[in-house]
Amino acid sequence: MTRRPLWLYLIAAVLAATVSAVTATTPTGDLWYFGAYLMVCVLAVVLAARRQRARDRVPWLWVAGGQFLWLAGDAVYPVGMLVGRPGDGSAEAVLWTAGYLAYGMALTTMARRRAGRWLRPAVLDMLTLVTAASIIVWVVWVSPFLQDAAADPLYAYLTVMGPFGDIVILGGVLLVVFSPGTRGGATGLLVVSAVLRIASDLGISFIPSEGLATMVATGVILLSNAVLVSAALHPNSGELTAPAYRAPTVHPARPWFLGVGLLTAPAILFLRANYAPVERSVLFAATIVTTMFVLVRFTAALRSLERVERQLSFQAAHDPLTGLLNRAALGERLEASPPGSTLLFLDLDGFKAVNDRAGHAAGDAILCAVSARLRAAVRDCDSVARLGGDEFAVVLHGLGDAGAVAVAERLLRDVALPVEHDGAAYSVGVSIGIAGGMPDDPATGWRPATLLRAADSAMYQAKRSGRGCWAWA
């Protein structure tokens, strides 16, 4: 899909919002506003229905439902005036509240689709900033008007509903932005829409002229809703619900945002000390809540980092197929082994023929089965490694010649047992070279590279002796 339809739609949305704002206080203003808004709502339904997968359709159906709820809420008063039965504002309150909740559900669903198992860090960061934003909203937009609104519960609810509905939108947008995944043009349109809505709801209280405030609110709200729907029209709108396949990376500015959220309540208490005891308690509780969110967030981040470090450390030292030590880790184990330990070098007999004939899946099954048998045949303190291909090594820590021969004999028997895979049985043998350190002879000390070469040469001697046997270096 090209971007041309999107740009044409956005241009039309700006023009419609401008006309609606200019005519907001005239008799034709309602016709412009409701006509344009109805077209936006219908387009939201069409775009949601066009989604091919049900999981991608759900958040956009929430968006469309929220738009129709807001449209219905806006229409209650003019329709009531038209029929001569103006309401008391309760119907508008219910519909607008439901619209905010539907918007929040749409954003939350998008974030869950994107983040998957990586949603928790985004939730904690969102809650931290939302708590801080709630404090600011309470101090600036709710607390100064609450005493005047206390005599009228409905008016009090309408006073609180808009700001805290914006908190719901802010939380949803932060959840989407903080979630891992692509953040392209569709995500940007979503953010712009939320900023316009929040700015309209909270900013009009600072406009002294009621007529001008009505004009600004009408135009900006219509534009915000149109931009929200345009995110579904964007060619890359799939990014909002596409699952992330990589672990999230933390933007350098994100810890600073969390720090600002943590300091919001203490800063307000410091700057304005004339709060009533109840409000001071609320701000103190908010400080505790934001602190807990930040502590939990960074504790989770540290634990996640530790898990990743353990995983990387394991991957660096182990063979990915069998889980045995790799060649580099074997060298470290040899370095740490005491003099007098023994090294067995093993090479499978007949493995290449089975691998070529039965395929790599059967070959992998044989390698894994042999690895399990090697681990079972030695002590927990011994080390087993896969050197590559069908070559293995076993370090018998502190075990002398007689013990090493006994282990080699057992390995010859165990490896030769058939391996079952996909209804067939496969048999391979093994040739073993044995090399041991001589603690009483400084010239042949316990040197890993020397022992590995000696055991390798002994293994080839066992091959020349007829395979399926062991040879001493």
- What HEC string does 109-154 produce? HHHHHHHHHHHHHHHHHHHHHHHHHHHHHHHHHHHHHHHHHCCCHH
Torsion of CA 348, 349, 350, 351, to 10 degrees: 0
| Region 401-424 average pLDDT | 90
| CA-closest candidate to residue 249, choices 311, 296, 175, 179 | 179
Residues contacting 23, CB < 8 A, separation 6+: 29, 32
**Chain centroid offset of residue 37 CA:** 35
CA distance 123 to 111: 10
CA distance 156 to 93: 11
Eight-state DSSP code of residue 206: G
Q: Which amino acid is at 168?
A: V
- Lowest-confidence range among 75-89, 140-154, 228-242, 364-378? 140-154
- Judged by DSSP in three states, 168 sits in helix
CA distance 275 to 55: 48
CA distance 132 to 174: 13
Neighbour-count burial of 416, counting CB atoms closer than 10 A to its CB (0-12 exposed, 13-18 middle, 19+ buried): middle
Residues contacting 316, CB < 8 A, separation 6+: 328, 329
Strand 383-388 vs strand 419-421: parallel, antiparallel, or unpaired?
A: unpaired
CA-only gyration radius of the chain, Å: 35
pLDDT at position 430, please?
92
- Token readout for 69 is 């709820």
Question: pTM for this one?
Answer: 0.67
Strand partners of residue 384: 394
**Confidence class for position 335, pLDDT limits 50, 70, 90:** confident
Give how far Cα 218 sits from Cα of 97, 229, 278, Å. 18, 17, 37
Tell whether the model's pLDDT for residue 415 goes beyond 70: yes
Tell whether the model's pLDDT for residue 155 goes beyond 60: yes
Give how far Cα 57 sits from Cα of 28, 53, 99, 132, Å. 35, 6, 18, 32
Angle of CA points 152, 218, 164, to nearest 5°: 45
CA distance 458 to 452: 10
Share of the chain above pLDDT 70, in %: 92
Tell whether the model's pLDDT for residue 422 goes beyond 80: yes
Eight-state DSSP code of residue 467: S
**Confidence class for position 197, pLDDT limits 50, 70, 90:** very high
Tell whether the model's pLDDT for residue 70 goes beyond 70: yes
Give how far Cα 182 sits from Cα of 177, 195, 394, Å. 9, 20, 47
8 Å CB contact between 345 and 391: yes
| Region 153-167 average pLDDT | 81
Tell whether the model's pLDDT for residue 140 goes beyond 70: yes
Q: Which amino acid is at 227?
A: V
pLDDT at position 225, please?
96
For the chain, give the mean pLDDT: 86
Strand order in the sheet with 383-388: 383-388, 391-396, 342-349, 429-436, 470-472
Q: What's the pLDDT tens digit per position in 282-331?
A: 777 777 887 788 778 777 777 777 788 888 888 888 999 999 999 888 88
Burial call 291-312: b when 16+ CB within 10 Å, e when fewer: bebbeebeeeeeeeeeeeeeee
Helix, strand, coil distribution of the chain in percent, nearest 5: 70, 10, 20
Tell whether the model's pLDDT for residue 36 goes beyond 90: yes
pLDDT at position 88, please?
78
Q: What are phi and psi of 348, to 5 degrees?
A: -70, 140
- Judged by DSSP in three states, 384 sits in strand
| Region 168-178 average pLDDT | 93
pLDDT at position 271, please?
63
pLDDT at position 273, please?
61
CA distance 113 to 119: 9
pLDDT at position 412, please?
93
- Judged by DSSP in three states, 434 sits in strand
Share of the chain above pLDDT 90, in %: 42
pLDDT at position 248, please?
63
Torsion of CA 274, 276, 282, 287, to 10 degrees: 20
Could you tell me if residue 423 is left (phi over 0), alpha (psi between -120 and 50 degrees) or otherwise beta? left
Strand 429-436 vs strand 424-426: parallel, antiparallel, or unpaired?
A: unpaired
| CA-closest candidate to residue 318, choices 266, 280, 375 | 375
CA distance 355 to 373: 19
**Confidence class for position 440, pLDDT limits 50, 70, 90:** very low
Eight-state DSSP code of residue 242: P
